[in-house]
Structure 1
Amino acid sequence: MSAGTKSPPRPTRSRARWRVVPALLLGALLLVSGCSSDDGGGDKKPGGPSGTTTKGDPKKGADPASITLTPADGANAIDPQAPLTIVVGGGKLGEVKVVNAQNEPVDGTLDADGRTWKPKVAFTLGGKYTVSATATNADNAPTTARATFNTLSGDKKVTARFSPEDGATVGVGFPVSLTFDYPVKNRAAVEKALSVEVEPKVEGAWHWFDNTRVDYRPRDYWAPGTNVKVNLNLRGVDVGNGAIANQFKSYSFKIAATKRIATVDVKAHTMKVYENDQLVKTIPITAGKSPKYSTWNGKMAITEKFEKTRMNSQTVGLGSEYDIDDVPYAMRVTTSGTFVHGNYWADPSVFGSENTSHGCVSMTKENAKWLYDRVIAGDMVEISGSDERTVDADNGFADWNLSWDKWTATGAPGTTQGTTTPTH
């Protein structure tokens, strides 16, 4: 009902009456605007644009600004990586605020187009968010729009274990390695969400060993002193098979100042230890007895070490050949069970003259302690001269046994230059 249908109000009530009229007129303006939209003014569709609310002064000549938000108010199952779009008509966009279910602010930025807002970190799976946007018209009258939406739940949430650990210092042969807890079908989408920052710059690439493990390495060993930062911007990434990644993390590690490589000549029964390409010690060893227990050939990174450990032949499929509770100074080089270790039970005469082991490289306890005290994870053991074939590249961190051409066949090569360089 318009003000014109009533008798003039008493002067003492005129102010209150005029405060009501603008709201009624504004409601009419908004109703007309809504009816002219494509959806016919009906219920909002999930993820569709939201309507507007306006606070303006009807005495001014300019029409109120309009704001359309996507996702719409009440939308569900929104992609956590989807940006928000804010379309302003007849005005200028001002402040944009986004909060989570705990009313905590969410950091984000507007793109250069001035209408696409992206969170700094992807929205969480199964999260609830509210966006508020304000715009002003030509008369500087404000319009505010608000929408609350829910992201998809992600019943199958995928995460990746990573190596090395955050803050670790490792040898020149330790690759970046990610192992997912669910098979990855959309490898390209996952790679796009990964980036590596390296200082000083170096050419590097990802390589998929299977649908759960992907590693990153340079063409050659890391340079001593290199700093590496890995960014896992995986939250909300569709990995395929109905699974969504739920991980956003950056971690860093450092390559040690010493390039340490131990070369083993199985036929000569020796290990030569080099530090920064200088020979520092030659150690007599015994390797796997041929042909039944020949030691793997190839380049293998030390992955872990134990001052004392139990070795049982049944754990590596060799029946009841041995069971030793206190093997000293053991340094693992393959997942399948190859170690460099101390050996107190063999006749000392075999070291440097005969291969008698079940596949490991062993030496006297004293020499093993010397080596154990110097090496760290990622230092390299390079074995040659065995009758056995070259170890598989995914048996531990033997990545370096693949040529660069083979390495890049399943991952896109890129050059890291001290800034985040996504893979493609």
Structure 2
Amino acid sequence: MILRVSTPAAGRRPAVLVAAVLAALLGLTACTGSGGGGQTAQGETAPPGQSAKVAVEPAEGAGDIAPRDPVSVTVSDGTIAEIALTNPEGEQVEGELSEDRSSWTIGEPLGYGKTYTWSGSAEGTDGTTVPIEGTFTTVTPSATSGVKSNVGDDNTYGVAMPIALTFDAPVEDRAAVEKALHVETDPEIEGSWAWLDQGRAVHWRPKEYWRPHTEVSVRAELYGVHLGGGVYGDNDLTVAFSIGREQIVRADTQEHRMAVYRDGEQVGDYPASFGLESDPGRVTRSGIHVVMSKHPTYFMNNPGYGYEDFEVQWAVRISNNGEFTHSAPWSVADQGNRNVSHGCINLAPADAKAYFDSALQGDPVEITGSSEPLQPRDGLYHDWIYSWEEWRSMSALNG
């Protein structure tokens, strides 16, 4: 027997399919429930919005805030709508708002002894507005101390030139000062700060002479820094300078000669007369001196030895104790033979002029052979009398 299976007519299939789709949709609707009440696709209730929470630093009403202390506003559960920090004169302080508008950070140091006021608002995730408000007061120093530099912008110096920062008064918190000092060099070179002049000056020198043609930049971010004892920094300081060619003088008091080397080659060798050795007050000091200044004409004064306003030509100062190289036509016969000066290096006029023309502030003058060494009491610059280990130990951060 043959069984016949009947099939629905073609025109009835769409009705069956529509019924199935409707059933599925009704079933889905039954699973998700009705659409009110902030529920998620999984049926969970969405968390309600939050009111913005504002945190200010320093705290409301804080006092004795240093001009460089952290100052900021941070908002959680919301964003900063508007913000300003103003000084007593109504001027706004510079600052930076983060990309997500959740924080604002100060962008400049504050003034001394001033009350600063916050204003503005934050908007929470619930859409409500919360004020940003409050005040704080900066410290009033017992005194301020300024700082100045021995090197100047765009100048060129010799390979022994130290960086010397001098303060108006001795510094108590020397570590705080060093943390605010920055030296950058190209190429990089090892160096360190050291405190001199009973804490009134801090010098930076490389471990060895500078490499010729080094580029140097110095930043002293000292305004607002507590220097100790209620004294605060009065100013910042920045300077950029260059190191020139290498020129080194090597002078031997026993050989009575002064030789000049430039970039490793000898370019001068002059007969000289140094300080009279029988008088400790006139002996030329042994050690590494540094060229400090040059004067086509200079008037020497030493009342203790009976002369004032004594005129010399082509004078190059190499220490603060009265040591120069200069023209000395009166001692030409002694130059190369005997030491008769009052501590200076006497040269013939033509030799003195030749050296004067070549000398650069910061050039080293290495003197050997005398009975008296260069010492701190001889003044600037005696930086190179110390070994590298001694120099580093004179840093407040390394000592």
The answer, yes or no, to whether TM exceeds 0.5 is yes
Paired residue for 1:390, among 358, 374, 379? 374
CA 66–116 in structure 1, closer or farther in 2 if over 3 Å, else same: closer
Which segment is superposed worse, 118-127 or 229-238?
118-127
Instruction: Please tell me whether the aligned partners of residues 273 and 331 of structure 2 are also in contact (alpha carbons under 8 angstroms).
Output: no
Tell me which residue corresponds to 1:308: 297
Q: Which moved more, 1:301-310 or 1:113-122?
A: 113-122
- TM-superposed deviation, 1:77: 2.9
| Preserved CA contact (<8 Å) 2:144 2:234 | yes
CA distance in 2, matches of 1:228, 1:378: 14
Q: What is the CA-CA distance between 1:367 and the residue it aligns to?
A: 1.4
Judged with a 3 Å threshold, the aligned counterparts in structure 2 of structure 1 residues 324 and 90 are, in CA distance, closer, same or farther, namely closer
Relative to 1, partners in 2 of residues 1:111 and 1:188: Cα closer, same or farther, differing over 3 Å? farther
Which of 328, 333, 336 pairs up with 2:313? 328
**Structure 1 match to 2:328:** 343
After superposition, residues 348-387 of structure 1 pair within 5 angstroms as 348-387=332-371
Q: Would you say 1:264 and 2:251 are equivalent positions?
A: yes
Distance 1:286 1:394 in 2: 20
Deviates more, 1:276-285 or 1:243-252: 243-252
Distance 1:196 1:137 in 2: 45
- 1:285 maps to what in 2? 272
Kindly state the Cα deviation for residue 302 of structure 1 after the two structures are TM-superposed: 0.5
Q: Which runs of 5+ in 2 are unaligned?
A: 1-47
Instruction: Choose 112-121 or 178-187, whichever is displaced more.
Output: 112-121
Q: Which of 147, 150, 154 lines up with 2:137 in the alignment?
A: 150
Contact 1:291 1:387 in 2 (8 A): no
Confirm or deny that 1:404 pairs with 2:385.
Answer: no
Cα separation, partners in 2 of 1:320 and 1:261, compared to 1, 3 Å: same
Instruction: Return 364-373 or 78-87, whichever deviates more.
Output: 78-87
Check the 8 A contact 1:261/1:379 in 2, yes or no. Answer: yes
1:400 Cα deviation from its structure 2 partner:
1.4
How far apart in 1 are the matches of 2:345 and 2:103? 59
Q: CA deviation at 1:331?
A: 1.1
8 A contact 1:130–1:148 mirrored in 2:
yes
Show the 5 A alignment for 1:73-92.
Answer: 75-92=62-79
Aligned-residue Cα RMSD (Å) equals: 2.7
Listed as ranges, the matches of 1:175-186 within 5 Å are 175-186=162-173
User: Secondary structure, in 3 states, of the residue corresponding to 1:202?
Assistant: coil
Distance 1:271 1:83 in 2: 56
2:222 is matched with 234
Consecutive unaligned residues of structure 1, counting only runs of 5 or more, are 1-60, 414-422
Question: Do 1:85 and 1:115's aligned partners in 2 also have CA atoms closer than 8 Å?
Answer: no
Kindly state the Cα deviation for residue 108 of structure 1 after the two structures are TM-superposed.
4.0
Report the structure number with the largest CA radius of gyration: 2
* Count of residue pairs the alignment pairs up: 349
Separation of aligned partners in 2, 1:274 and 1:255? 16
Which residue is equivalent to 2:23?
none
Is the partner of 2:132 in helix, strand or coil?
strand
Match of 2:159 in 1: 172
1:270-293 CA deviation, whole Å, 9 max, x = no partner? 110111111001111110011212
TM-score (norm 2): 0.79
Contact 1:125–1:246, Cα closer than 8 Å, also in 2:
no
- After superposition, what is the alpha-carbon deviation per residue over 1:316-363, rounded to whole angstroms, capped at 9, x for unaligned? xxx14323432111111111221111113x242111111100111111
Q: Indicate conservation of the 8 Å contact 2:73/2:105, yes or no.
A: no
